[in-house]
Amino acid sequence: MSKGTLLYSQSGGVTAVINATASAVIETARQHRVKVLAARNGIVGALREDLIDTSREPIAAIRALAHTPGGAFGTCRYKLKSLDVDRAKYERLIEVFKAHDVRYFLYNGGNDSADTAHKVSQLAEEFGYELHCIGVPKTVDNDLAVTDTCPGFGSAAKYTAVSLLEASFDVEAMAETSTKVFVYEVMGRHAGWLAAAAGLAGTGNNDAPHLILFPERPFEQAAFLERVADTVSKVGYCVVVVSEGLRLPDGSFVAAAGGKDSFGHSQLGGVGPHIAALVKDELGLKVHWTVPDYLQRSARHLASATDLEQAQAVGRAAVEYALEGRNAVMPVIVRTRDEPYRWKIEPAPLSKIANAEKTMPKGFIRRDGYGITAACRRYLAPLIQGEVPPPYGRDGLPKYVRLQNVPVKRKLPDFQT
């Protein structure tokens, strides 16, 4: 087939290593002498014909992307609906692709993105436009189907386990006369993968975290408080991990309970401060809490070597698959062995991944609901292994790169997104 242009686009929340995937995509395509454009701010840029010419970036900058967090070309939260409802948008995408001879479309995101890439491939086929759509996995939530894990998750997991370990040393030192309970809120609206990762910080019976509140288990307030009180009296302090997606027995989010403060402003209470307040009010114990929020998914300084390697591997494979003429597939990670950890990359059909959601297997949560099992530990352990710190400057800060992001000249009329 004739070589055309490759369009790469990032989607959804960024990770510590999504730029490493971008770096691998661009470098691999350059080796094949395929031109790479990037959509500015994700699919929104593709719709607006707001494209970036990556060939204007020196190779050193492309390589530095491998140690830079964030999303180098911008990303978006923008979901295309069904082909019926959003047909005009899908058609616009094909128009933009035609205008720039885009023959390879690499969409780097989660399950929504897999769905979009799948639909675009269907429409291209309907229109008889030769296009190779490849989904590229990414998400700190680790909730993509088929793949054993998702690039981005391992680094967020490592950040969570290390931060939890460090904070627990702090709490332990202070507990006699100060903070007795520490609450650590992790991301994960629907699945408790990051909450589980915090569990890697402790191995002994008295090690933190002492209690993990998973979104998969309804929050039973009385039982939880009893466990906190027991832990404090036995260990001297209690470290609690809570997933932002924790739900009440009626299915509603605990975090949605925020009221108004004394100024009449909304309380953007995460679930972390809520659980902390509960412990303080009901048990009268001194509490502290943390909500790392974006810090947990952008902490490139603490990335996992396994995660980085996989983020780059899926980027390279995505380009190879596209150039081999594959379509509507995603390079997924297949685990072949737990210890020593072995894995490989294989193509999987987007149809199996689109809109599916992988939650924690039941066997990964301890029977009492407050911790992880040995099986879970076996699964998670290799994902946080290895350190790959970024280079640091003389100023003591990581040397992260910002691309020039030179725009490609537009050829089409404006389009309202």
Task: State the binding site for substrate.
Answer: 139-141, 187-189, 244, 294-297
Q: Which residues contact 403 (CB under 8 A, 6 or more apart)?
A: 52, 54, 57, 61, 65, 72, 73
Q: How far is the CB of 325 from a copy of itself (least distance, A)?
A: 31
310 binds a copy of itself (CB under 8 A): no
Measure the CA–CA gap between 180 and 190, rounded to whole angstroms. 29
Binding string, residues 101-140; x marks residues near a copy of itself by CB under 8 A: ----------------------------------------
Distance, CA of 164 to CA of 247 (rounded, Å)? 22
Residues in a beta bridge with 134: 106, 329
Measured CA distances, 21 to 40, 184, 304 (Å): 16, 29, 14
Q: Closest separation between CB of residue 147 and a copy of itself, Å?
A: 20
Residue 166: how many other CB atoms lie within 10 Å: 10
Residue nearer to a copy of itself on the CB measure, 98 or 288: 288
Cβ burial 300-319 (10 Å sphere, 16+ → b, else e): bbbbbbbbbbbbbbbbbbbb
* From 58-66, 70-78, 351-359, 363-371, span contacting a copy of itself (CB under 8 A): 70-78
Distance CA 254, CA 278 (A): 12
Whole-number Å distance between alpha carbons of 217 and 266? 27
The verdict on 298 binding a copy of itself (CB under 8 A) reads yes
How far, in Å, CA of 188 to CA of 409, rounded?
A: 40
- Tell which one of 28, 75, 121, 231 touches a copy of itself (CB under 8 A): 75
338 binds a copy of itself (CB under 8 A): no
| Among residues 126, 130, 166, 226, the one that binds a copy of itself under rule CB under 8 A | 166
Q: Which residues have a catalytic role annotated? A: 141
At its nearest, how many Å lie between a copy of itself and the CB of residue 289?
6
**Member of 82, 169, 342, 357 binding a copy of itself (CB under 8 A):** 169
Taking CB under 8 A as the criterion, which residues in 39-68 touch a copy of itself? 41-42, 44, 68
Candidate segments 9-17, 118-126, 347-355, 408-416, binder of a copy of itself by CB under 8 A: 9-17
**Under the criterion CB under 8 A, does residue 71 sit at the interface with a copy of itself?**
yes
| Binds a copy of itself by CB under 8 A, chosen from 76, 156, 191, 213 | 76
Shortest distance (Å) from residue 73 CB to a copy of itself: 8
Residue type, position 410, single letter: R
Listed ranges 94-102, 141-149, 175-183, 314-322: which one lies at the site for a copy of itself (CB under 8 A): 175-183
Map residue 412 onto helix, strand or coil: coil
Region of 376 please: left (phi>0), alpha (psi -120 to 50) or beta.
alpha
Residues 268-297, interacting with a copy of itself (CB under 8 A): 268-270, 273-274, 276-278, 280-281, 287-295, 297
Question: Is residue 132 helix, strand or coil?
Answer: strand
Parallel/antiparallel/unpaired status of strands 51-53 and 36-39: antiparallel
Q: Rounded CA gap, 356 and 83, in Å?
A: 18
Residue 357 interacts with a copy of itself (CB under 8 A): yes or no: no
Instruction: Using the minimum distance from each CB to a copy of itself, give the nearer residue, 157 or 317.
Output: 157
Q: Which of 375, 397, 406, 412 is in the footprint of a copy of itself by CB under 8 A?
A: 397
Under the criterion CB under 8 A, does residue 37 sit at the interface with a copy of itself?
no
Cis peptide before 347 (omega within 30 of 0): no
Q: Name the 3-class secondary structure at 131.
A: coil
